[in-house]
Amino acid sequence: MAAGDPHAVAGEAHLHAPDQEQLRTAASVFALLADPTRLHLLWLLARGEADVTALTAASGAPRPAVSQHLAKLRLAGLVHARREGRRAVYALRDGHLRRLVTEALSHADHQVTGEPWHP
């Protein structure tokens, strides 16, 4: 990464060996990502903020299921919500999660399509 790249600084800050608490926390994130509906909701939120109505329409999942998944994601600290009048608008908590979701789905795309892997 180039000097001055904000990702370079963030990446360098995370080069230390993980301790057991970090490994357990990361594993719990992966467990939450293991559900296709939750992964789809996170992918949608990686594209921008949205409320339950928009997420329900975009995901095709039933509204009660979307609400339940969002509650789990919020409880785990992966998403946060802010109020806009009567509706809650959801967003991803941070760029690490956005990149993790994007990379996981990019990896899956290579497996599904047979496109060559990147070095």
**Residue boundaries of the structural domains of the chain:** 28-111
- pLDDT reported for residue 3: 46
Q: Does domain 28-111 have CATH number 1.10.10.10?
A: yes
Q: 88 and 82 in contact (C-beta within 8 Å)? A: yes
Question: Helix 95-113 and helix 36-46: axis angle, to 10°?
Answer: 120
Give 65's pLDDT tier (boundaries 50, 70, 90). very high
Query: Residue 111, Cβ neighbours under 10 Å: how many?
Result: 9
Q: pLDDT exceeding 70 applies to what percent of the chain?
A: 89
- pLDDT reported for residue 93: 95
Report pTM: 0.85
Tens digits of residue pLDDT in 2-32: 445 554 545 566 778 999 999 999 999 999 9
